[in-house]
Structure 1
Amino acid sequence: METMDKSKPILVTGGTGYLASWIVKQLLDEGFRVNTTVRDKANQQKYRHLLDMASKSEGQLSVYEADLLLDHSFQQAMDGCELVIHTASPFKISGIKNADKELVQPALQGTRNVLFSANDSKSVKRVVLTSSIVAMVGDAIDVHELHKGVFNEKCWNATSSVNHQPYPYSKTMAEKEAWSIAKKQNRWDLVVINPGFILGPSLSQRTDSTSIGLMIQLFSGKYKTGAPKGDQAIVDVRDVARAHILAGLTASASGRHLTAAHQKDFLAIADVIRKQYPKYRLPKKYVPKWLFQLVGPFMGFSRSFVKLNVGYDFVFDNSYVKADLKMSFTPFEKTITDHFNQLVADKLIPDLR
C-alpha cells in the first residue's frame, strides 16, 4: 500500500466501544480528522466522552449514524476516507438466547456492509479489521492439542459453532468473510488485528463490555472463594488501539496480527491489586475444576465451556505483531492497576483503598 494521506479523515466504526474509544482518542491526540459511527446520533449521552476528547485534542471529530444491519449505512461516514478501522461487532459470551441473531448475523452483516461500502468508495486504500484470537483458537484445550502447544497467525478456529462458543464462531466467520471480500478486489488492502483478552482503563462509564464486566465481578468479590485456573492471553486496551493505528498507517503492514502481551490468569490479576489494597475480597486460590463445573452455569459459563477451557492455558506466539508493526506492550501490573483505578474513580466498584 502507498503512504496514507494524513490530511484525509479516518473512519473508526462503532466509536463508543471500549476499544474504539481509545482508537478515536489516540488518533485525535495525534491531530487526525476522525469520522466515527454511532447507532443513534440523537443520544449524545452515549458518545459525550468522544465529544469531550475531541474538544481537548489537536484533531477533529465528525459523528455519523450507522447500523451494522442496515445496507449502505456506512457510506456517508466513509466518503473521502483512505483508511477505515472497523471495530464494531457484538461481544457477548453469556446470557445469549439466540446466538445466530445476536452474534453471528450482526458480525457477518456488519463486516459485509463496511467492506461493500469500501468497494463503492473510491477513496479507501486500506481496511483494518478488529478480529480476535478466538478466530484462531476457540477453546483453550485446542492450544494444548496443537503441535508444540503454541498458537499463532497460521491457526484458524475449527471447533466453534453457533451452538458451542458462538462468540468465537462469529469472529471466525466474520474474519473469513472479510478475507474473501478483500481478495475479490484490488483497490484496497485488508490488515487484521486479533487481540487477546483486552483489559485496561475505559474512557466511558459503560459496563456492557465483557472485559469490564469480568473485572467488576472480580473486584466486587464474586470470585472471593477462588478463581478458575487457566492462563489468558492478556493485552492492554491502549496497546490494541495503537496496533490498529500502526496497522493502518504502516505502508508495509500485512496479514493477521495476534495482539497479546501477557500469559496470566485471574489469580495473577487479583494478586496485583491485593498487594496494594488488601481490603478487597479477592481470590487467593483456584476453584477445583469439578466445583467450577457445578457452579459455572450460575455464573454464565456452560459446563462444556468449563470442560474445554478451565485448567488449560492460552500459550501464544506474538513475534509477528512485534516485527511487522514494531509493537511494544504495557507492563501487566500497569494495565491492571490503571483499570482498577478507573473502576473505582467511576464508582463501578467500592472504594476500599
Structure 2
Amino acid sequence: MTTPTLPESTMTPILVTGGSGYIASWIIKYLLEAGYTVHATVRDPAKQSSVGHLLKIAEQAKGTLKLFKADLLAEGSFNEAMQGCGIVMHTASPFVLEGFSDANEALVRPALEGTRNVLNAVNQCPTVHRVVLTSSVAAIYGDNEDILAVPSGVFTEEHWNTTSSVDHNPYQYSKAVAEREAWKLQKEQSRWDLVTINPAMVYGPSLTSGSQSASIDTLVQMGDGRLRTGVPKLTIGVVDVREVASAHLLAAFNPAAKGRFILNATELTMLKIGKILRHKYGSQYPFPRMEAPTFLVWAFGPLMGPITRDFVKRNVGLPLKFDNRRSRDILGVQYRPVEETFIEHFQQVIDDGLLKKKR
C-alpha cells in the first residue's frame, strides 16, 4: 500500500499520543508529509533518542510538529497538547510481555487510566470531533483456543476477549479493558465519535533503529539459531505497520468509518515466516526448517524462555482466522504482500546490528 491520500490540510492540528512509538511515528510521518500540524505527546520532549527521528521527519516535511510532555497516569496531562485539535489519535499504551512483577501496575492501570485521562481531556476540549484509538486484536481474543467457541471459526469485530485477566494474558486484558472504557466514555456524550483500530501482530520497518518489541524479538530468534531445531506450530495474524498507520488516517478522515476495524493481512505459522526469510537470505542465517512436536514444546518450552505450558496448551497447534473485510471495504486499506513486510523488517534487524551472519 502506498502512502494514503489525505484531504488537504487545514490549520486545525491533530493530536497523536505516544508520538515516539512504532505505529505513531508512521502516523506522524504521513501527516507531516501531507502538510498537517501535529501535536505529539511524549514522555520527554528533550530526549533525543526518543524524538530525534520525529524532528528529522519534520525538518524534511511541509507540515509542522509540536512536541508536548504527557504522562498516561497524570490527570490533565493531555489538556495543553489537545487545545485546538480536531482529531485525536490515541496510540499510547504500554506493550510489555515479560519482565514485570506487577501486571496491574505495568500494564492494566496505565492502559485503562491513560485512556480515561485522554478521553476526559477530549470531553473538555470542544474542538475535538473524532477520536481514533489504537486497540488490538488482543481486545478481540486472548488465546487461539478462543476461536473454538466461535461457530464460524473466524474472529470479527463483533467478538470481545472475555478469557483474559490480570493473571492470565495481562497484556491482552489491558487492551480489552482500555477499549471497553473508551466505548463507555464515548457513549456518555454526543459531541465526538470513536473509531478503534485493532491490528494483529505488527511487523515492518521502524522509523527508529534498535527498538525493542515482540516482533523484533521473534525475527532475531529466527535468525540467531535459537529456533533452528524447530519452531512451535503456532499461527499468528500479521500486518504491516504502514498499513496500520494508514488505517488510522483513513479512519480519521472518513465520515463513514464507525466502530472497530480488524487490521490483519493474513495468518501465518512461525515456520512460514522462517521460509519467507530463508527464500530471501538462503543459508546466511540458521532459519528454522521444521516444526517442533507440540509435546516437546510443552515439555521444554518453559526452559527456553517465556513460553509456558499453559500458553502451549491454549495456542500451539490451534487454528486462527480473522475477517478483515471491514478494513478493506470501508477504510480502503490495501494490504501489501507479507513477504515484503518480513524481508524489510528483517533487513532492518541486520542493518541495526542485532544479528550476525552464520560463520
Give TM-score scaled by structure 1 length.
0.96
Counterpart secondary structure, 2:152: helix
CA shift digits 1:273-295 (9 cap, x unpaired): 11121221110011111211233
1:83 alignment counterpart: 87
In structure 2, distance between residues paired with 1:351 and 1:46? 29
Report deviation, 1:348: 2.0
Equivalent pair of 1:94/1:301 in contact (CA under 8 Å): no
In structure 1, distance between residues paired with 2:358 and 2:234? 28
1:256 alignment counterpart: 260
2:147 paired with 1:143: yes
In structure 2, distance between residues paired with 1:97 and 1:200? 30
Counterpart secondary structure, 2:273: helix
Equivalent pair of 1:227/1:287 in contact (CA under 8 Å): yes
Equivalent pair of 1:4/1:82 in contact (CA under 8 Å): no
2:299 alignment counterpart: 294
Q: How does 1:32-111 map to 2 (within 5 A)?
A: 32-111=36-115
Counterpart secondary structure, 1:248: helix
1:284 alignment counterpart: 289
Structure 1 gap segments, 5+ residues each: none
In structure 2, distance between residues paired with 1:40 and 1:351? 36
2:196 paired with 1:187: no
- Which shifted more, 119-128 or 87-96? 87-96
Q: How does 1:1-353 map to 2 (within 5 A)?
A: 6-278=10-282, 279-297=284-302, 298-351=304-357
In structure 2, distance between residues paired with 1:302 and 1:245? 38
1:351–1:15: structure 2 CA closer, same or farther, 3 Å change rule?
farther
Instruction: Quote the RMSD (CA, aligned, Å).
Output: 1.6
Structure 2 gap segments, 5+ residues each: 1-6
- Which shifted more, 94-103 or 204-213? 204-213
In structure 1, distance between residues paired with 2:33 and 2:229? 43
In structure 1, distance between residues paired with 2:334 and 2:306? 34
Counterpart secondary structure, 1:207: coil
Letter in 2 for 1:281: P
1:70–1:224: structure 2 CA closer, same or farther, 3 Å change rule?
same
Identity of aligned residues (%): 46
2:4 alignment counterpart: none
Counterpart secondary structure, 2:196: strand
CA shift digits 1:52-74 (9 cap, x unpaired): 11111121111110011111111
Report deviation, 1:31: 1.4
Report deviation, 1:213: 2.1
Report deviation, 1:252: 1.5
Report deviation, 1:171: 0.3
Letter in 1 for 2:350: V
1:312–1:175: structure 2 CA closer, same or farther, 3 Å change rule?
same
Letter in 2 for 1:227: V
Matched residue count: 351
